[in-house]
Structure 1
Amino acid sequence: MKRRLGVSLYPDNSDFNQGKDYLVLAKKYGFSRIFMSMLEVSEGRESVFNKFKKIIDYAKSLDFEVILDIAPAIFEALNISYDDLSFFEEVGADGIRLDLGFDGSKEALLSFNPYGLIIELNMSNDVAYLDNILTYEANKPFIYGCHNFYPQDRSALSLDFFVACSQRFKNQGIRTAAFVTSNEATLGPWDVNDGLPTLEMHRYLPIEVQTKHLFAIGLIDDVIIGNAYASEAELQVMSEVNRYQLSFEVEFVPEVNDVEKEIVLKNQHVRRGDITARMVRSTVVRKIYQKDANPVHDNHLVFKRGDIVIGNDLFGKYKNELQIVLEEHQDNRKNKVGQIIDDEHLLLDYIKPWSKFLFQ
């Protein structure tokens, strides 16, 4: 399933022109879906319709997919029946996200709505909610899953719980989504906004690291910025994230040589399948560069987790093999050529046997 990037909009708390400009930027950087909140509506049906129709029409002109986040109170406030979703089709949405669920039978029936609207389910519960819906013969291609975000500091999901929830949806082949948070944006659905991540461990990390982590976990297809408006710089660095394999940001040591830089940056790296706990080994490069000299430097250090080392001229057949250190050790047959930035050390756990990875 192809992976996508998304942004969030809050039409009831924001200006149309700001939203319009934000979508132009997001489109420029390859974003393609929108989470749009309807949880805060406080005006009448006609006013709400016109406000949302205007921004959705503009979003559709840029080829965004638009999912509206709704709750039962919205149906009551706007006098909408679950048996008639024409309001959402007429306003131009591609689907609706059910912030609260029903009995399974209702969600299954909604997935057969005559307008082809996507029914997106709340993923942030480790219960058999999805299984229940599917037992009622839901229209599976029109079912998505999307996690919650959490405005209050220390209120978002733990990693283990997140994985358990996400696995339920991914096991069924359902398209999944989760949120990262901008460190620049200040707008969300509520008056408390300590960021809007799905995972608590992401709350104060750079947005590109959050994005890399969600994709590396392998259970999320769409990564959405929860708060608005992310800066252009944040949109750009997210757009540059490799969505299908890990790409680590490396800081080189001063003594790194040209051959070592080329080994690091100009090659597709693959971890050996017969893995060891001490390091990640990329062995093909030693064959490519077997005739290139590699004098010793930075080789009497204690190598630490996240260090990038390459076999030097003392290492015989292992000369120019690249390794990422997982456990501290010393070996003067290896040169330290750089280190993965600290914020990305959490990604090391996702280099599995035969995993492909890159450096930037």
Structure 2
Amino acid sequence: MLGISLYLGQQSHDELEAYIKKMFSAGCRTIFTSLHIPEDDPALYVSELKKLGEVATRIGMDIIADLSPSSWHHLGLQMEQASELRAWGVTGLRVDYGFTPTQIANLSKQMKVALNASTIDERFLTELTNAGLHIHRVEAWHNFYPRPETGLDDQWFEKRNKWLQSQGLTVVAFVPGDEKLRGPLHKGLPTIERHRHQSVFSAYLEMTNELHVDKVCIGDPGIKEDTLKQFTYYQDDVIFVRCNHIDLTKEESKLLKMNHRNRMDPARDVIRSETSRFYAQKGRIDIKPRPILPRPKGAITIDNNHYGRYVGELQVVLRDLPPDAKVNVIGYVSAEDLPLLKMIHPGQSFSFNV
């Protein structure tokens, strides 16, 4: 599941609503925001929160708000009035330092509660359970890390997530955005450091496919249009791969534009498009040989007329291979999308930006 992050007072109401609608169409169902309210204008913050809540409720998205014990005063509420936030559109609270087990357990009786995934231990979970925690309303949320070099180690992160899931907790983490980066550092908001300069979509797939994360939020408040397109395609279980291609013949262009599917018997060295083979086998296909080129990782190739019954098969190279006169190189996967190749598992659909 996918989520976004929005920070109150940093965009107009129209911009906020347009972005929420756009991301909802791409599969987002959760909005993260912060209620660590500045001392200077809490009334404006409450007004902005209510506006956000109205839009989220109307569109059909949850809001998880990060807050501290002092936030209640600025909101004009007591902690016992947490359910009042539901009327504002807030469906869950992320709590951390300063809350007692009893306070957290009482909050869980009123709404969803997100705990700090990095600091939970067995003793704390026992204290929460003894205090009456409603575990079915609890999630474990990791932090994001604005300062470079402070994001989590991914091996520790994966081990941690396995334990959290073994305790029956839903695990949530952040990946950075790639357009509007939150200040003051503007260095991305990842949970694990390795993702700081990685593409948003590939970081998301790593989180959900390899690192035992149940929900992923984009920490920064904006993504590029082609990144949005990747998430939109993934709604139909298609991995959208950005590439650069050479001038194509009509037949090569037709092959590249197909919605491809990796074979169920995966090759070691290449991704083989099952779709292209079916198409080529329907009738005579003419793929004339091109000048011979190297086949580095990420090269997109089509077997030419010299390959006999394999003519027309489209492949994506997974490891550097030597040139082959029977294989035309027609393009290359963009460097930022190379990490996606390991996510194209047997039977996985994929397509290119042509």
Q: TM > 0.5 between the two?
A: yes
Residues 215, 298 of structure 1: CA spacing in aligned structure 2 closer, same or farther, 3 A cutoff?
farther
Closer, same or farther in 2 for the Cα pair 1:314/1:295, shift >3 Å?
same
Cα distance, 1:186 vs structure 2: 4.8
Aligned to 1:23: 17
**Does structure 1 retain, via aligned residues, the 8 Å contact 2:261–2:349?**
yes
Give the direction of change, closer, same or farther, for the CA distance of 1:167–1:358 in structure 2 (3 Å limit).
farther
Q: State the SS of the aligned residue for 2:64.
A: strand
Aligned mate of 1:123, from 117, 124, 128: 117
For the residue of structure 2 that corresponds to 1:52, the secondary structure is: helix
Q: In 1, distance between residues paired with 2:53 and 2:325?
A: 61
Tell me the secondary structure at the aligned position of residue 185 of structure 1: coil
Do structure 1's residue 200 and structure 2's residue 193 form an aligned pair? Answer: yes
The aligned counterpart of 1:144 is 139
Supply the distance in 2 between the matched residues of 1:272 and 1:101 (Cα, whole angstroms): 52
1:289 aligns with 280
Deviation at 1:104, TM superposition (A): 7.1
1:63 aligns with 2:60: yes
Contact 2:176 2:220 in 1 (8 A): yes
Deviation of 1:355 after TM superposition, in Å, equals: 3.2
SS of corresponding position for 2:6:
strand
Query: What is the aligned counterpart of 1:242 among 224, 234, 237?
Result: 234
Q: Separation in 1 of the partners of 2:209 and 2:19?
A: 25
In the aligned structure 2, how far is the partner of 1:133 from the partner of 1:337?
Answer: 61
1 CA distance for matches of 2:317 and 2:145? 34
Q: Which amino acid aligns with 1:289?
A: A
**Does structure 1 residue 42 correspond to structure 2 residue 45?**
no
1:318-349 CA-to-partner distances (Å, cap 9, x unmatched) read 22222211122222221112111111111222
Residue 30 (structure 2) aligned to one of 28, 33, 37: 33
In structure 2, relative to structure 1, the CA distance for the partners of 1:186 and 1:5 (3 Å cut) is closer
Q: TM-score, normalised by structure 2?
A: 0.78
Q: Work out whether residues 195 and 227 of structure 1, in 8 Å CA contact, stay in contact via their aligned partners in 2.
A: yes
CA contact (8 A) 1:122 1:147 kept: yes
Counterpart CA distance in 1 for 2:245 and 2:189 is 33
Q: Secondary structure at the match of 2:90?
A: coil
- Secondary structure at 1:289's aligned position in 2? helix
**Which consecutive unaligned segments of at least 5 residues does structure 2 have?**
none
Q: 2:315 aligns with which of 304, 309, 323?
A: 323
Give the drift of 1:302. Answer: 1.9
- Once the two structures are TM-superposed, the CA of residue 39 in structure 1 deviates from its matched residue by 2.2
In the alignment of these two chains, the number of paired residues is 346
Q: CA RMSD in A?
A: 3.8
Distance 2:126 2:347 in 1: 36
Q: Which runs of 5+ in 1 are unaligned?
A: none
Percent identity for Structure 1 against Structure 2: 23
Q: Residue type of the partner of 2:261?
A: H
Report the CA distance shift for 1:283/1:44 in structure 2 as closer, same or farther (over 3 A): closer
Q: Tell me if the contact between 1:182 and 1:207 (Cα under 8 Å) persists in the aligned partners.
A: yes
1:341 equivalent to 2:334? Answer yes
The letter of the residue matching 1:240 is T
Alignment match of 2:257 (pick from 253, 259, 265): 265
1:94 to 91, 95, 106: 91
Per-residue deviation at 1:301?
1.9
Are 1:155 and 2:135 counterparts?
no
